[in-house]
Amino acid sequence: MMADSSTIEAFRKKLIEKGFEDLAKDLRENEIMKPHTSFRVGGPAQIYSEPSRTEEIVALSDTAKALGIPCFLMGNGSNLVISDEGIDGLVIRLGENFSTISSEEDPADPDAVLVTAGAGTLLIRLSSFAAKNSLTGLEFASGIPGSLGGAVFMNAGAYDHDMSEVIEKVTAISPSGEVRTWTKDELDLGYRKSCFMANGGIVCEAVLRLKKGDAELINSQIRTYTEKRTKSQPLNFPSAGSMFKRPEGHYTGALIEQAGLKGFSIGGAQVSEKHAGFVINKGDATAKDIDDLVRHIQKTIKEKFDVELQREVRFIGRGFN
């Protein structure tokens, strides 16, 4: 799918009218998404932007709305399979430009510190900031390769912990373009679930409440988690982590292994030999290979065990939605 240059020109014109000349100038056409995702698949985004300020995100999404163009917001691309045929409309990526971190003592609790970070901040960096400042609560996130915004959206978690334990509040842009604060209770955080999945809000910043702790214990916990990950996960192949949500009463990896699918592949996509809950890109996988393999796994598990595996990884773009 190639961009229709009249669409981009109309987009640029609207942004310039709103006073966002630099943003208009930096819009990219037919940006290949493959390098922007951990799975290393994905065709072109019709229009692509990496804004630096919240007002720029608002201007981009308002303009898309005004022109009737779909808009998809991504973080670090570590939970995505993007279609080989690309994505229609605008893709906004929140990266380094939204990665400030600051902290202050919690006025309500002498044992806690409030850490404020931009949505593009990598969880790995945030977890290391916490460890350096002897703050506990984010050890579980030390190996999750997503951004803070993506982690809030997904309520990312590991080792029986998740973001809901540390989130205090979130600043986000509502679908109507209003920038406001969401309290923790409003976020509707559950297993790999937040209110933003239903309401389409864009997370710009989050405040996390971390506890003062012991640097040695924090670092030792991080080392333990890192060893576990390195031993059990296929980290030397591109992937998006666990492909499926954990079905109640079962372990996904064990079900897939019992079904004889460990190592099974379609094209360049393979069920990891190291961890059957991961689908990996052996090097030349297409998004279609991954989708076909995932469908095959879901069908097999349903037939053999009457269990419905739901995708945790989000499939985005032409043909997928």
Ligand X SMILES: Cc1cc2nc3c(=O)[nH]c(=O)nc-3n(C[C@H](O)[C@H](O)[C@H](O)COP(=O)(O)OP(=O)(O)OC[C@H]3O[C@@H](n4cnc5c(N)ncnc54)[C@H](O)[C@@H]3O)c2cc1C
Supply the residues annotated as catalytic.
192, 242, 312
Minimum Å distance from CB 173 to ligand X? 8
Subset of residues 154 to 173 that bind ligand X, contact rule: CB under 6 A:
154, 156-158
Residue 220's identity, in one-letter code, is: S
51 interacts with ligand X by CB under 6 A: no
Nearer to ligand X, 234 or 267 (CB): 234
147 interacts with ligand X by CB under 6 A: yes
Subset of residues 188 to 217 that bind ligand X, contact rule: CB under 6 A:
196, 202-203
Q: Say how far apart CA 317 and CA 321 lie, in whole Å.
A: 6
Cα-based distances in Å from 219 to 102, 214, 278, 304: 20, 9, 27, 43
Minimum Å distance from CB 59 to ligand X? 16
272 interacts with ligand X by CB under 6 A: no
Q: In what order do the strands lie in the sheet with 265-266?
A: 239-242, 278-281, 269-271, 265-266
Q: Say how far apart CA 212 and CA 113 lie, in whole Å.
A: 7
For residue 263, the number of C-alpha atoms closer than 13 Å in the C-beta half-sphere is 3
SS3 assignment, position 80: strand
261 interacts with ligand X by CB under 6 A: no
145 interacts with ligand X by CB under 6 A: yes
> Of residues 91, 151, 276, 280, which one binds ligand X by CB under 6 A?
151
Q: Say how far apart CA 194 and CA 287 lie, in whole Å.
A: 26
Nearer to ligand X, 16 or 124 (CB): 124
38 interacts with ligand X by CB under 6 A: yes
SS3 assignment, position 289: helix
Nearer to ligand X, 94 or 113 (CB): 94
Q: Choose the binding region for ligand X from 17-25, 150-158, 182-190, 265-273 (rule: CB under 6 A).
A: 150-158
- On whether the CB atoms of residues 196 and 151 are closer than 8 A, the answer is no
